[in-house]
Structure 1
Amino acid sequence: MKKSILSLTLLLICLHGFATETKLMVRAKAKDAKFVGSSIGGAHVIVRNSLNGEIMAEGNTTGATGNTDLIMKSVHERYTELSDDKTAGFLAILDINEPVFVQVEILSPIHKKNARVQASTELWLIPGKHILGDGIVLEIPGFVVDILKPNTHQYINLGSIPDSGLPIEAHIVMMCGCPIEVDGIWDSKLIEVKAMVKKDGESVGEVELDNPAQNSFQGHFGIKEAGYYQITVYAYNPKTGNTGVDIVNYVVRD
């Protein structure tokens, strides 16, 4: 019995000894923008064995969003590195003793459920053959849209609504948290932002939201009757195909 245990122990030691440390850098990059990092809470990365689903590494991307001039303003030639040692990423360190086919899955941005995108790819990892630099970069399309006014399930007295209409305000950023503003790098003039309004389940109109300040989109919608209301704010850039949506429900009472 002791001999069997010793043999098994030696076998495990040998198997572990043959395992080779293999590094894989994973990054999430917002479409038409920069990398998803600490400023917005990061992207969640899961590296799985594609054969059996075993999670081999897991964690969040951390670091900065990257060099704006390099990423957004420069012409990129083949092999151009868009990241540096401060750019957000997740470094998976795996011990493998043979090539493994893995799935890399990203949930981004991890803390924004209404905007969170799942993206994935697959690749072979070979023992000791690191994939570093930019590494594996998965694109995250969309906008993060947060309706600030009115609030979810807010009760509003009909008589308190001004003649100009109920204020509607949304905060909108790129998926990396990068700012949107008039004539900025991410120009709000290229983005269609509207609020679609329903009363008791029926559409009652929509209003275009202006961008008076960075990331802030505002407008007013006239309300004459009490009821159960829903506002859907969407952002759409026809040039890039980026879209984003947030929805709130509230009550107007007499």
Structure 2
Amino acid sequence: MKGFNFYRFFCAFTFVLFAFSSIAQETSIMIRAKAKDAKFIGSSIGGAKILVKDALTGEILVEGITSGSTGNTEKIMKQDRKRNEMLSDDKTAGFNALLDIQQPKFITVEAYAPVNKKQAQVMSSTQLWVIPGKHIKGDGVVLDIPGFVVDILSPQTHERLASTEKIEIKANIVMMCGCPVTEDGIWDASQYEVKAILRNSEGISEEIEMNQKNKESTFQADLSLDKGLYEVLIYAYDPVTGNTGVDKTNIIVN
């Protein structure tokens, strides 16, 4: 072809190809945190803190909090699930991470949940490749969060109590999504082992069984203690799933 300069054409084509390939593409990744043996962690319990990092450098690329509902109880806890059938819907808690990437990137996704319950908070993580423009939607990346949230309600921290009176031990125990624990409920209180361990300053300990009574998720026991300084530890344990949770405080008995 007259006047055709192959070298110039090749250079121009290479430049255009390079320019096109170097344009960052917005890529979305739906990230969810789901309590083990329960539902999704959302707004009702404060959500899960999500960090998306460059797996090689540790740089935080994007971060946020999951928000939305805990999901459909019937679908999540009672129905059989078929392959590729979603557990979530458009109201289910999640965090939509948006990444501007020019080429495939290997990332680490971390979930810290429940974000507002420090004594119960655990970290779950996974890693995956993200391809520019190839969105991850639907259920997305689901991180499993094991455990129970255990909150000691009574006695209060550093409370002074009389050795001559009965001492009430009380704790609120819920799933990591905030779902309630009740007798004969979906999360059956009778399935879980809940105990208080009281240890004095000499290292002598006493273990007390606690039961769910008048109020959902509330476990109680009464006992008497000799004078001294005590650490109170309350734990919940599910022998079926392996879920565990702990809270601790200190009291003074006069």
The correspondence for 1:61, drawn from 66, 81, 85, is 66
User: Which amino acid counterpart does residue 218 of structure 1 have in structure 2?
Assistant: Q
The CA distance in 1 between the partners of 2:21 and 2:150, in whole Å, is 48
The CA distance in 2 between the partners of 1:132 and 1:219, in whole Å, is 47
The correspondence for 2:138, drawn from 115, 133, 157, is 133
Q: Larger Cα Rg: Structure 1 or Structure 2?
A: 2
Residues 168-247 of structure 1 mapped to structure 2, 5 A cutoff: 168-212=169-213, 213-223=215-225, 225-247=226-248
Q: 1:122 to 1:222 in 2, by over 3 A?
A: same
Return the offset for 1:53: 1.4
Alpha-carbon RMSD across the aligned residues, in angstroms, is 1.3
Unaligned runs of 5+ in 1: 1-13
1:141-189 deviation line (CA, Å, top 9, x unaligned) = 0000000100111112334x2xxx3100000000000000000000001
1:88-138 deviation line (CA, Å, top 9, x unaligned) = 000001111100000001100011111101111100000000001000001
**Corresponding position: 1:100 with 2:100:** no
On the 8 A contact 2:161/2:167 being kept in 1, the answer is: no
So what's the TM-score if we normalise by structure 1? 0.90
So what's the TM-score if we normalise by structure 2? 0.90
Return the offset for 1:204: 3.3
How many pairs align?
235
On the 8 A contact 2:104/2:130 being kept in 1, the answer is: yes
User: Which amino acid counterpart does residue 203 of structure 2 have in structure 1?
Assistant: E
The CA distance in 2 between the partners of 1:32 and 1:57, in whole Å, is 28
The correspondence for 2:89, drawn from 84, 87, 92, is 84
The CA distance in 2 between the partners of 1:221 and 1:229, in whole Å, is 13
The CA distance in 1 between the partners of 2:57 and 2:230, in whole Å, is 47
The CA distance in 2 between the partners of 1:91 and 1:201, in whole Å, is 51
The CA distance in 2 between the partners of 1:222 and 1:250, in whole Å, is 13
User: Which amino acid counterpart does residue 179 of structure 1 have in structure 2?
Assistant: P
Q: Which residue of 1 aligns with 2:41?
A: 36
The CA distance in 2 between the partners of 1:16 and 1:47, in whole Å, is 23
Q: Which residue of 2 aligns with 1:8?
A: none
The CA distance in 1 between the partners of 2:83 and 2:204, in whole Å, is 49
Q: Runs of 4+ in structure 1 displaced over 2 angstroms?
A: 14-17
User: Which amino acid counterpart does residue 224 of structure 2 have in structure 1?
Assistant: G
The CA distance in 1 between the partners of 2:35 and 2:190, in whole Å, is 19
Return the offset for 1:51: 1.6
Aligned residue for 1:18, secondary structure, equals coil
Q: Which residue of 2 aligns with 1:20?
A: 25
Percent identity of the aligned residues?
A: 53
